Amino acid sequence: MGINIQSLSFIKPRHVELIKLIKESWFTLSLATVCLLIVAGTTAVSAYLIKPALDDVFINKDARMLKLIPVAVIIVYFLRGLGIYGQEYLMSHVGQNIIRRLRNRLYNHIQDLSLSFFHKEKTGTLMSRITNDVNTIKAMVSSVVTGSVRDCFTIAGLTIVIFTQIWDLALLAFIILPVAFYPIVALGRKVRKVSRKCLEAIADMSSFLHETFAGNKIVKAFGMEAYEKKRFFDKTLLLFKLEMKEVRAKSLSSPIMEFLGGLGIAFVIWYGGYRVISGTYTTGTFVSFLAAVVMLYDPVKKLSKLNNQLQQGLAATDRIFDIIERQSDIKEDENPVILSRGPHNVTFDNVSFRYKDVMVLKNINLDVKSGEIVALVGMSGGGKTSLVNLIPRFYDVSSGSLLIDGIDIRKASISSLRDQIAIVTQEPILFNDTVRNNIAYGNLKASDDEIEMAAKAAYAYDFIQGFPDRLDTMIGELGGRLSGGEKQRICIARALIKNAPILILDEATSSLDTESERLVQKALENLMKGRTTFVIAHRLSTIGYANRILVIVDGRIVEEGKHEELVAKEGEYYKLYKMQFGAIDIK
């Protein structure tokens, strides 16, 4: 049985994961090690060739050797070149491959985390982990693995040499080594700490860049360019200071190691010289011993640098695994029920919901029959969006339960649940792809005809025809040319093409003018037929067709009924109605 690395307390499970990741490339790694050995071997051989070159060629004037040795030198250097190339190529292969797999793993994991995670973490910070932090790990893997293999081999070889020559003096020279480990460890710890702060500062900077570029319109509108420049300069200054702190910790290890090496060598000269003078050793033995000791301290010094790189890599590992070890708070049931496609009843059974400590929905009881259209109205901030967010499990209820055809949605498979739902969210979000692909996002298998039909039904077809490449125009190329209403209509087309039994429209037509709203409304009304629909509407004039209207105030359903009933009641709905009616009156 080997050592169980997990039993060593300073090695955390995340480091084991990293080692596993490195071990996956064991074949490439062993090839690289062979190359390393070739490099080390040819170095020794080229040094060894000096002896016959001197003795046979120059002293004995051997003509055969005069031909052989240059040929041997050429072969040795050719092999050495191959070894260096192979080692560099293969080690980079391992490093780059680890980066690729770590990035995939991070992205995979982040995509599966719940929406609340994305609300907590800043986009730029997450991007920085996938781009920047992962890179630091590459540097660690390739240089630390290569360096430690090469230096450990050299140290082992030279140690054998000095112990076979003068064992007692070798023992004394080795006393200095444990002393050398103390600064290595202490400085390494410091490097790790500062390195983590650097990564945090870089993440903070990239999140700042993301925000101020994405929101540049607001920066300009409020004349805040100078303010943002100053804030950015502060961030680069902080990063500069941290980087320099890291450099100080990293570079300090070299002079300390040099000095300790010097102490060791001075001691060997003093004590060994004394033994030579007293006649215990010959001068030759002592000189070769001393040469080996000098050579030995060199890889030891390099190991201290490697430790710094290792600590930097471990700091990045920590940040990456902080994310990978994060659990989604929306969990898939162990034996999930697969919801079949078809009309569904949606039931809220005494549902309450809170974001952290703010109660947003209180004791919601609601039974929506399949095919029914329910409109949710009320002042903004009342909790309408939060209520419909519970249906696709963007968030889980805090208490009570939400049932689809009597099945608690927490027991249903998440993907089958979301398959049942088409949603037009309050913010129209499109991706930088063609208009066609943005619509086909709702159903990747949709044919061109279906895409066109969806665009027509959402009254988006006409304005899309005005784009340079029509349906094949990239959203980005339109450079913000799309109006809010146009974006909303593409979003509606995307939801239409999904053709799902449950439809959620969260202020889907709020950015449309009255005329196009009337048109899109018609298309939506056609679409709602036979589907269980939740419509959140801003303008009460657009919900005349609803089977039932719910008035949501402060997280509660305060009124429920048809338009005429609610108006007659002269309660909350009547108040909203009068406000909008009044507004129309003024016009």
Ligand X SMILES: Nc1ncnc2c1ncn2[C@@H]1O[C@H](COP(=O)(O)OP(=O)(O)O)[C@@H](O)[C@H]1O
Which of ligand X, Mg ion, none does 119 bind, CB closer than 5 to 8 A by kind? ligand X
HSE at residue 410, side-chain half, CA atoms within 13 A, is 12
Residues with Cβ within 8 Å of residue 466, at least 6 apart in sequence: none
CB 426 to ligand X: min, Å: 7
Is residue 385 close enough to count as binding Mg ion by CB under 5 A?
yes
CB 316 to ligand X: min, Å: 29
Q: Please state, in angstroms and rounded to a whole number, the distance separating the CA atoms of residues 515 and 513.
A: 5
Choices 91-99, 173-181, 424-432, 568-576; region in contact with Mg ion by CB under 5 A:
424-432
CB 507 to Mg ion: min, Å: 6
Site map for ligand X, 231-270, x if CB under 6 A? Answer: ----------------------------------------
Which of ligand X, Mg ion, none does 381 bind, CB closer than 5 to 8 A by kind? ligand X
Residues with Cβ within 8 Å of residue 539, at least 6 apart in sequence: 510, 517, 580
Site for ligand X in 333-392 (CB under 6 A): 355, 358, 360, 380-386
Of 390, 401, 466, the residue nearest 435 (C-alpha): 466
Of 391, 491, 390, 486, the residue nearest 438 (C-alpha): 491
CB 528 to ligand X: min, Å: 20
Question: For 382, left (φ over 0), alpha (ψ -120 to 50), or beta?
Answer: alpha
- By CB under 5 A, how many residues form the interface with Mg ion? 2
Is residue 119 close enough to count as binding ligand X by CB under 6 A?
yes
Phi, psi angle pair for 129, to nearest 5°: -65, -40
Nearer to ligand X, 207 or 308 (CB): 207
Site for Mg ion in 338-377 (CB under 5 A): none
Nearer to ligand X, 83 or 383 (CB): 383
Residues with Cβ within 8 Å of residue 454, at least 6 apart in sequence: 439, 442, 446, 493, 494, 496, 497
Nearer to ligand X, 317 or 386 (CB): 386
CB 423 to Mg ion: min, Å: 13
Nearer to ligand X, 382 or 485 (CB): 382
**Angle between helices 283-324 and 225-277 in degrees, nearest 10:** 150
Which of ligand X, Mg ion, none does 347 bind, CB closer than 5 to 8 A by kind? none
Nearer to ligand X, 29 or 360 (CB): 360
Nearer to ligand X, 340 or 380 (CB): 380
Q: State how far the alpha carbon of 468 is from the alpha carbons of 175, 437, 451, in Å.
A: 77, 16, 18
Choices 81-89, 106-114, 419-427, 546-554; region in contact with Mg ion by CB under 5 A:
419-427
Which residue has tokens 């804030």? 231
Instruction: Supply angle C-alpha 414, 427, 459, rounded to 5.
Output: 100
CB 555 to Mg ion: min, Å: 13
Q: Please state, in angstroms and rounded to a whole number, the distance separating the CA atoms of residues 207 and 201.
A: 10
Which of ligand X, Mg ion, none does 317 bind, CB closer than 5 to 8 A by kind? none
Q: Please state, in angstroms and rounded to a whole number, the distance separating the CA atoms of residues 337 and 569.
A: 42
Site for Mg ion in 432-471 (CB under 5 A): none
Cross-strand pairs, 422: 503
CB 495 to Mg ion: min, Å: 16
Q: How many residues does the chain have?
A: 587
Which residue has tokens 């589907």? 531
Which of ligand X, Mg ion, none does 386 bind, CB closer than 5 to 8 A by kind? ligand X
Which of Mg ion, ligand X, none does 360 bind, CB closer than 5 to 8 A by kind? ligand X
Applying CB under 6 A, the residues found at the interface with ligand X are 119, 355, 358, 360, 380-386
Applying CB under 5 A, the residues found at the interface with Mg ion are 385, 426
